[in-house]
Structures are given as structure tokens and as C-alpha cells.
Amino acid sequence: MPLKKPIHLLYAPTIFCNMSCQYCYLGRLTEAKIDHETVIQTLNLALEKLLAHGYLPFNLSFHGGEVTTLPTHTLEALFAIAQNHYARHAEQITQLGFKINPLHIKTNLLNFQKHEAVFKQYQVSISGSVDLPLSLHEKYRRDKNGNSTLDRILANLKRLARYPYNKKISCVITQAHLQVVDAFIADIRFLHDDLGLDMSRFNIMFGFDSEPNNDKFAQKIQGTAMLTHDEQVAFYQKIKTAFMGTHLENAFKTEWFKEFTPEFCCSAVNCGNKFFLLQSNGDVYACPRGQSSPHYRYGNVYQDEIESIIANGWKVIERNENRLELDDDCLQCPYIQYCHVGCTFVREAANLRKSYTCKLQKALYQDNPEQYRPLSDTQRRDYIKQFLLHNNIKKLKETHPTKQAYITNELFEIDNSLQALIAKDNILSELYSPALFFLKINGTPYFLKSAILKTESDIELLDNQSEIILGVREDIFSIATRYELNNYIHIMLLRDTTVVYGDENRQKQEHLFDYSLYKNAFITQSHLKAGYYLLDISAIIKQHAHLYLSDIRNNLFVTTKSLREYHYEKHKKNAFYHIQAINLPFQNIEFIWTF
């Protein structure tokens, strides 16, 4: 199978965790036991199906829950699968411009000694999560029974310092850390200088509030809430003051706050294009964070087609992004090309309108001006336009005042308004009715409204995987005609590239195609449900995909032969109607085709 896309695959073979960290975004999920029998089977099946359909995991790593709660023999089997995958596809991965990463796990280190031998056997890269200062680890990172883990973690940190392969540790920062920054700094030095654990690859992360966490820890321990934007910057500045000019200066500048740079998924324009987290039951989610929410589930490798799961990646993130409000400050920010308003999941979980580390990220950019150059106003406007086409489509909804024409004073008389003309004419009332047609796009219904009456423009993203169902009111063929058999459904598609034609030399949208289906043919191909004939028009739209252009809107109109003819007859008879309905008045929806 030819390669379609390289992807980053995280495997969470268990979501159970042997700790009960007070700020964990997974909440009660970490209590769940898993079926050990399926752990190996699921990874093998997923890799087989992905590769068979042209999707190559260029990075395969293990996350949780807590991976090390699995038996050693299960870990060894998983590592063997990953090692074999890299060996088989190393040449292709490097040709794509990616390096061959070592096998990698994320762990809380509680069971490090137990599995150390198999880690060494497969030269596994270790990312250990601890709390610094260690006094907060004692307070917040307890086991399931509420017991201290500090002595065991300290012993394993010493073992990790002597571990001969890639390793690093990470730490989650919450409100309490701002009060103990000096102790935090001292423990970094202790681990690096006294324990011998190389802190040059240390990662700092910031905790965030979430519903699963609040549900599990209703009586939240004081200090585990998320820092404000200003507090994050204050924390960063104190760390900067402590380590600039020291042997860890370069680590501070390049590694410690790396998660908040464009290199990480939380700043991706759409993380659903590349990142996929697989659980042992076959469920596929956006990422370790996203597995705590059904809104971020893409599908299941046992139940769904791989093409559907992969396609759902960008669709799910796009739709979740579109459910969120976007801070207007983001649209004025000259650094938006680096953060893309931050992690969609965190913004939803913490009820935010911008990145939860917005000010911190700006501080990082401003401290590295050669690497992170701000956009000029013109560049920013151009970038925002493209960004909104790919994320937060809702911002493209256009709200207009009620449309008016300014030709003759008579047009301002109530009786001559378009609404009045429609109200006085039974056929026009039907022609403009929002109840005549609807589209159901990937399960989302849109009752279509007249293009010249509505004040909001619905915009959808479509691709070759989209399902598009047209609903037509049962009595549609009898409206404005005595000859129902001669009547037909008329579909028109226009593209937002303009052409000039007619005596008026008007610029109008370019017409791509018309499609007509007579009554009997339409009814034969459709089925009746709740007063509407339903017809799948996906094939009609996809057949013309070669005519669609990247990031250009397409305008889909629906009417009937008799209503279309009535509209043009009314044009001839009534000048007020002609002037106000000079553009196509039929029910419509706009879409952007994604390639």
C-alpha cells in the first residue's frame, strides 16, 4: 500500500495507575482495571491495519495510565513489537525526514526497579514524572491507599541517574509551587549535582483544572489548582534568574519549557492530523489528555474502518475547536503562528478562550526574538484568515444587519419590502421556507434557509469521507405546478471564484454544475421519514471534487424546477421583488473541501 500519511502513535496499554496524584486530568479513569490478554493483540492489530491502509507510525511510544503496572513479560512483548516495527520501517521513516527514536515510555517511576532489566535489554528511553520540590511530591503524589511514595521514588531516581540510556524527568507546576520556588530550584540542583541525574532534559509542565479531576477530588487539596497567567510568568522569571549564567542555562533556554513552543502538539494547528492515542480495548483518542473525554474519541480499531478513524482525527479536533469561544485578543496577537491558541482539550476542560499558558508563551517568544519573530499587521491578518479556515470555523460565520437596497424611496415602504412581498404571496412563502430542505452532514442537521434572507452563513468542512444526506419535504413536487411528474429537484453548485457576465458586467460566483432529478426518479432513489424524502447526495458532491479549490468556499443551492421558474416570473412582474432578489434566493449552505 502506498504511503498516505506518517502518524505519531501513542499506545496506552493500561489506563490504570498505581498513584493518585491530586492534579491528574484523568480523574477516576486511572481506577479502571484492564484485560491483560488484549494488550498485545490490540497493538499488533492496530499496526497491521494502519500499515495495510498506508499509515506509517514514525514514532511509537508508550503512555498511560501507568505503563509499568503491567507484568514485566507483557512489557517485554510490547517492546519487541515496537523494536521490530522500527527495524522493518527504518529506511522509510528516515526517508520521510524523521529520526528513528528509541523505544520510549512515560512513567511515574514507582516500579522502575522492578522492570529495570527489561528497560536495559531494549534500551528504553525513560520519561519519569515526579514532583519538585520533593516536599510537594510527598504531599501530592501518594499511592492508591494514600501512602507516601517519596522514599521509593528517591531510590529509583538514584537508579535512573545510573541508567545508561536516554532519560529525563518532568514536573507538573500548580499554585503551591509559586510559594516554594526556592526549594524547587534547590532540588533541581540536588538532582543534577548531588544525585548525578542529568537535568539538561528536564521538562516543566503546568497543571490545569478539569472536570474529571474535580469529580475525583471534590475537596481539592489547597495548592493543586492551576496557576494564573501572571503567576506562570512570575514562576518562569524566578527560574530564569536562578539559572541564567549557570551550567544549566542552555537547558533552561532550550528544554525546560519546550512544551510551550511550536515543537509540541499543544501548539499544532490541528493535532488530529498526526497524533493518535490507542488504548488496549481498541479505542483511539486524540492524546493522553483527550482519553478522558468521549468528545476526543476517534473510533475503535476492532469496530471501525481505519480510514474512518484517521479521517475522524482532524474532524473531531475541528468540531471541538468550533464549539469553543475564541478570545478576540488571539486574532490581534503577532505570535498566533506559534501557539495557534493552544491545546483545544485544555481550553475546553478549563473553560478558557485562549491558551492556558498564553502569557508564559509570549515571555518565551520575547526572550528568543531571533527564533520567534512577531508577524507584521499584514502578515498577521493573512495568517489569521488561513488559520480560521482550518480551525474555529464558527468565527467565519458572518452576521449581517438586515439587508436593504438604496435605489428608490419606495423600497423603504413596508409593503414593498422583500419580507412583505413574500408574506403576500403563498408561492413565495413556500419558495423561501426554511422547512423545505435540510442537509444532514456527518450526522449534523442543517435546515436550509434562503441565501438572501438569512443573517448567518453556515460553513461546513467536507472531504471524501463525508456523508451528505438531502432531506426534501414530502409535498415539494406539488408546489407551484399542476404537473408534478414534470417537476424535479434542482441542485446548483457555485464556487467563490468570480466571473463577469451579462449586460450589467456583474462579478458573480462561478457556476460549477447543475443536477436535476425528476419526481419519480427522486422518490425511487430516496426513502420517506417523518415527512421528508431522504436522499444520499454524497456521491454527487464527491464526483466533482476535482473542481474544488483549497480554502475556497463552495455554495450549494437547492430548489425545484417550478419554484425556480416562479422566482424568475416574479422578477418580470414585480420590480421591487426583482431589485431585492437579484441574487439567487434559494436555500443554500457553503462548504470548504479538505484535500
Claim to verify: residue 383 and residue 455 sit in the same structural domain: no
Last residue of a domain, one of 365, 388, 411: 388
CA–CA gap between residue 266 and residue 261 (Å, rounded): 9
**H-only helix segments in 286-396:** 306-323, 328-331, 336-339, 344-349, 358-367, 377-390
CA–CA gap between residue 391 and residue 340 (Å, rounded): 9
pLDDT at 263: 83
533 assigned to some structural domain: yes
CA–CA gap between residue 135 and residue 335 (Å, rounded): 37
- DSSP 8-state code for residue 593: E
- DSSP 8-state code for residue 30: G
* Residue 279 near residue 12, CB atoms below 8 Å: yes
Q: What is the CATH number of the domain that holds 205?
A: 3.20.20.70
CA–CA gap between residue 309 and residue 297 (Å, rounded): 9
**Adjacent-strand bridge partners of 507:** 500
3-class SS at 209? coil
393 assigned to some structural domain: no
Claim to verify: residue 55 and residue 73 sit in the same structural domain: yes
Query: What is the chain's alpha carbon radius of gyration, rounded to the nearest angstrom?
Result: 29
110 assigned to some structural domain: yes
Which amino acid is it at 448?
L
Q: Is the dihedral of CA 448, 452, 454, 456 positive or negative?
A: positive
289 assigned to some structural domain: yes
Neighbours of 159 (CB within 10 A): 14
- DSSP 8-state code for residue 151: H
Claim to verify: residue 336 and residue 403 sit in the same structural domain: no
Q: Which three cell numbers stand for residue 31?
A: 481506577
Q: Which three cell numbers stand for residue 338?
A: 506559534
Claim to verify: residue 384 and residue 403 sit in the same structural domain: no
Claim to verify: residue 167 and residue 302 sit in the same structural domain: yes
566 assigned to some structural domain: yes
> Cα separations (Å) of 72 from 40, 67, 76, 121, 180?
13, 10, 6, 12, 38
Q: pTM here?
A: 0.69
Q: 536, 522, 449: which is closest to 488 by C-alpha?
A: 522
Claim to verify: residue 481 and residue 548 sit in the same structural domain: yes
pLDDT at 267: 79
Claim to verify: residue 384 and residue 406 sit in the same structural domain: no
Give me the tens of pLDDT residue by residue for the chain, a chain 595 residues long: 688 899 999 999 998 888 887 677 776 777 777 777 799 999 999 999 999 999 999 999 999 889 999 999 999 999 999 999 999 999 999 998 999 999 999 999 999 999 999 999 999 999 999 999 999 899 888 888 889 999 999 999 999 999 999 999 999 998 889 899 999 999 999 999 999 999 999 999 988 876 655 555 445 566 778 899 999 999 999 999 999 999 999 999 999 999 998 888 777 777 888 899 999 999 999 988 888 888 899 999 999 999 999 988 888 888 888 888 888 898 899 999 998 888 888 888 888 989 999 999 999 999 999 999 999 998 988 888 777 766 665 565 555 566 554 567 787 788 889 999 999 999 999 999 999 999 999 888 889 999 999 887 778 899 999 999 999 999 999 999 999 999 999 999 999 999 987 777 888 899 999 999 999 999 999 999 999 999 999 999 999 999 999 989 999 999 999 999 999 999 999 999 998 998 999 999 999 999 8
Full residue range of the structural domain in which residue 111 is found: 5-388
Query: Which residue reads 520519561 in cell numbers?
Result: 127
Claim to verify: residue 407 and residue 345 sit in the same structural domain: no
- Residue 546 burial by Cβ neighbours in a 10 Å radius (0-12, 13-18, 19+): exposed
Strands (E), 476-526: 488-501, 506-518
* Residue 527 near residue 534, CB atoms below 8 Å: yes
CA–CA gap between residue 121 and residue 113 (Å, rounded): 14
528 assigned to some structural domain: yes
Claim to verify: residue 148 and residue 238 sit in the same structural domain: yes
Last residue of a domain, one of 349, 369, 388: 388
Cα angle, residue 248 at apex, residues 246 and 250 outer, rounded to 5°: 105
pLDDT at 593: 94
pLDDT at 274: 87
Q: Which three cell numbers stand for residue 573?
A: 412582474
Q: Which three cell numbers stand for residue 483?
A: 404537473
H or E element, residue 439: strand 437-441
Claim to verify: residue 411 and residue 372 sit in the same structural domain: no
* Residue 65 near residue 14, CB atoms below 8 Å: yes
Last residue of a domain, one of 336, 356, 388: 388
Contacts of residues 317-320 at CB distance under 8 Å and 24 or more positions apart, as own/partner, are 317/270, 317/271, 317/272, 317/286, 317/344, 318/270, 318/272, 318/390, 318/391, 318/393, 318/461, 320/295, 320/296, 320/344, 320/345, 320/348
Q: Which three cell numbers stand for residue 175?
A: 499554585
Number of domains in the chain: 2
- Proportion of the chain in helix, strand, coil states, percent, rounded to 5: 45, 20, 35
| Pairing mode of beta strands 459-462, 587-593 | parallel
CA–CA gap between residue 185 and residue 206 (Å, rounded): 16
Claim to verify: residue 180 and residue 291 sit in the same structural domain: yes
575 assigned to some structural domain: yes
Claim to verify: residue 329 and residue 421 sit in the same structural domain: no
* Residue 7 near residue 274, CB atoms below 8 Å: yes
* Residue 564 near residue 432, CB atoms below 8 Å: no
73 assigned to some structural domain: yes
